[in-house]
Amino acid sequence: MTIGDAAEASGLPVKTIRYYEEIGLIHPGRCANGYREFSSADIHKLTFVARSRSLGFTIEECRTLLSLYEDRSRASADVRSLASGHLDQIDLKIVELQAMRRTLVERCRGDDRPDCPIIDRLAEGREEHTA
């Protein structure tokens, strides 16, 4: 896969992917012509990072998240406690998003109109957005 394909697959801009290689987040191979060559593992990593970044994790956090993602042996207890900490962070973010959602919805509910699309949408699945 070329970098363009990787960009489409991961949802990240080409520029960003090159930047991620530069800072050592990913290590795509190279073809004879100098083009970067992305494996499906690289794509998975990029997708994972894209998601993490859009959810407010820093690059350094992404780096450790990736190490968890990659590390299949998990020899040390450190790694596991790290993962646990990250899960706490993820759970907190979920709670905060739900709180934001409520805040916005309550603001919407503030007036008397019966035709608020947000309230309508809420009626479909009230706070039960658990996938």
Partner DNA sequence: TTACAGGTTCCAGTAACCGGAGGGTCAAGC
Partner DNA sequence: GCTTGACCCTCCGGTTACTGGAACCTGTAA
Binding site for a second copy (CB under 8 A): 48, 51-56, 65, 68-69, 71-74, 80-81, 83-84, 86-87, 90-91, 93-101, 103-105, 107-108, 110-111, 116-118, 121, 127-131
The nearer residue to DNA, 18 or 80, going by C-beta atoms, is: 18
Q: Is 19 in the site for DNA (CB under 7 A)?
A: yes
Q: 16 to each of 11, 38, 43, 50, how far by Cα in Å?
A: 10, 14, 13, 10
The three state secondary structure string of 88-128 is HHHHHHHHHHHHHHHHHHHHHHCCCCCCCHHHHHHHHCCCC
Q: Is 34 in the site for DNA (CB under 7 A)?
A: yes
Q: Kind and range of the H or E element at 85?
A: helix 77-109
Q: Is 69 in the site for DNA (CB under 7 A)?
A: no
Of residues 96-115, which lie at the interface with DNA (CB under 7 A)? none
Residue 99 binding target from a second copy, DNA, none, CB below 5 to 8 Å by type = a second copy
